[in-house]
């Protein structure tokens, strides 16, 4: 089987972006994504170590630690793609005089699909954080004991199983195997893709289109509710000229630390309540902004049939996808900044670790 034409050249003529222009753009994007991913891996390692030092005593700390873990997995695939693209460029620029034991562009494509597993996992975890905090803020009495440590672990485990199940079918449609390249007269490990892609298209429609759109909508609604609660709390404080109190308000002190549950009927937030709501709200805002390109690309594929693989605007699609991955990399890389800004205990624990 000859894969040189199908993998290394884009045969249909894109009227907006040429193949050469696409390679240049993607090279720049790969470099940017790779650099951000390296920083993001270190940042998320710090997140995990800090939350473990704080103690995984509650649902919030477990969820944040799990989110950092899934982000590391995703960023690792981003780094692998960047390295693969460098090797691909070396092969093509040498007119395939330089060859590697494994086809680098095949790895570039394969790791891109593998990265969907941890990214879907991060999507679901972020959505869970938003929903749990929203319910605690809006209906504290009804949900004060719903999001315990055990419940959180079970939910996150189900998310992992779902993400894994959504990826496993892909392995039946593509993979890396030993193949012969007649034009190069060489045998090496390379990407294969099944010609029967109908089921794969259905799977991708559910995983890559429905889940991002649904999570985007849910998180946006949760953000609006939490923002309204903060606004109501601020108005309540100003109206009654109340000062900060250490007494429990909408969530108890323990629930503020844990992030889930407990509260009473008062409309006022404690300062820690406000910090934790702002922290999760900002995570939601970053997610919505960085996930928007994914939603827009999916919509464009529906309304512009030529905006997809091997169609008229395939290079525009590839380029847009490259920018989409850049936004996703940003989303997975900089949660540490949010924690340091809005999580006092995280900041204090990290400061103590730095000076130990």
pTM above 0.85, yes or no: no
pLDDT digits (tens, 9 = 90+) for 313-347: 888 888 999 999 999 999 999 899 999 888 888 88
Asked if the model's pLDDT at residue 184 lies above 70, the reply is yes
pLDDT digits (tens, 9 = 90+) for 215-271: 989 998 988 888 887 777 667 666 665 454 455 443 443 443 344 444 444 445 566
Give percent helix, percent strand, percent coil of the chain, each to the nearest 5: 70, 5, 25
pLDDT of residue 260: 46
- What average pLDDT does the segment 123-147 reach? 84
Nearest C-alpha neighbor of 346 from the set 41, 159, 68, 36: 68
Helices (H) and strands (E) in the chain, counts: 13, 2
pLDDT of residue 269: 59
Taking the CA atoms of residue 302, residue 306, residue 310 and residue 312 in that order, the dihedral angle to the nearest 10 degrees is -160
- Which of 83-97, 248-262, 291-305 has the least mean pLDDT? 248-262
The highest-confidence range among 89-93, 122-126, 291-295, by mean pLDDT, is 122-126
CATH architecture assignment, domain 4-8+18-238+245-355: Up-down Bundle (1.20)
The pLDDT mean for the chain works out to 81
Cβ contact 95:4 at 8 Å: no
pLDDT of residue 354: 62
Cβ contact 286:338 at 8 Å: yes
Task: Tell me if residue 102 falls in helix, strand or coil.
Answer: strand
HSE at residue 184, side-chain half, CA atoms within 13 A, is 23
pLDDT of residue 197: 64
Q: What is the helix (H) or strand (E) element at residue 232, kind and residue range?
A: helix 211-240
DSSP one-letter code for 206: I
pLDDT of residue 254: 44
Q: What angle do CA 114, 119, 122 make, to 5 degrees?
A: 145
Q: How far is CA 318 from the centre of its chain?
A: 19
Which DSSP string corresponds to 150-188?
HHHHHHHHHHHHHHHHHHGGGGGTEEEEEEEETTTTEEE
Structure token pair of residue 287: 């997610």
Distance, in Å, from the CA atom of 33 to the CA atom of 37, rounded to the nearest integer, reads: 6
């Amino acid at each position: 089987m000859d894969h040189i034409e199908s993998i290394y050249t884009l045969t249909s003529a894109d009227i907006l972006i040429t193949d050469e222009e696409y390679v240049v753009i993607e090279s720049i994007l790969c470099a940017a994504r790779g650099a951000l991913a390296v920083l993001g891996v270190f940042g998320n390692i710090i997140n995990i170590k800090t939350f473990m030092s704080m103690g995984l005593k509650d649902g919030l700390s477990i969820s944040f630690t799990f989110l950092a873990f899934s982000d590391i997995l995703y960023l690792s695939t981003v780094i692998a793609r960047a390295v693969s693209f460098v090797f691909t460029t070396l092969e093509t620029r040498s007119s395939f005089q330089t060859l590697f034991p494994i086809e680098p562009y095949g790895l570039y494509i394969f790791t891109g699909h593998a990265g969907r597993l941890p990214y879907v996992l991060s999507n679901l975890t972020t959505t869970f954080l938003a929903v749990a905090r929203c319910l605690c803020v809006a209906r504290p009495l009804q949900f004060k004991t719903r999001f315990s440590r055990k419940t959180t672990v079970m939910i996150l485990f189900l998310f992992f199983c779902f993400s894994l199940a959504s990826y496993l079918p892909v392995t039946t449609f593509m993979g890396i195997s030993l193949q012969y390249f007649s034009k190069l007269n060489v045998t090496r490990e390379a990407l294969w893709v099944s010609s029967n892609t109908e089921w794969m298209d259905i799977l991708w429609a559910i995983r890559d289109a429905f889940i991002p759109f649904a999570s985007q909508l849910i998180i946006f609604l949760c953000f609006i509710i939490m923002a309204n609660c903060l606004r109501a709390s601020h108005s309540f404080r100003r109206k009654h000229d109340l000062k900060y109190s250490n007494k429990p308000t909408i969530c108890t002190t323990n629930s503020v630390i844990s992030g889930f549950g407990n509260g009473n009927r008062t409309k006022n937030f404690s300062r820690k309540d406000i910090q934790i709501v702002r922290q999760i709200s900002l995570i939601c805002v970053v997610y919505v902004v960085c996930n928007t390109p994914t939603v827009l690309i999916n919509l464009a594929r529906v309304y512009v049939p030529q905006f997809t693989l091997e169609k008229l605007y395939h290079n525009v699609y590839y380029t847009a996808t490259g920018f989409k991955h850049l936004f996703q990399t940003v989303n997975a890389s900089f949660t540490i900044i949010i924690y340091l800004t809005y999580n006092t205990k995280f900041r204090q624990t990290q400061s103590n670790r730095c000076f130990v």
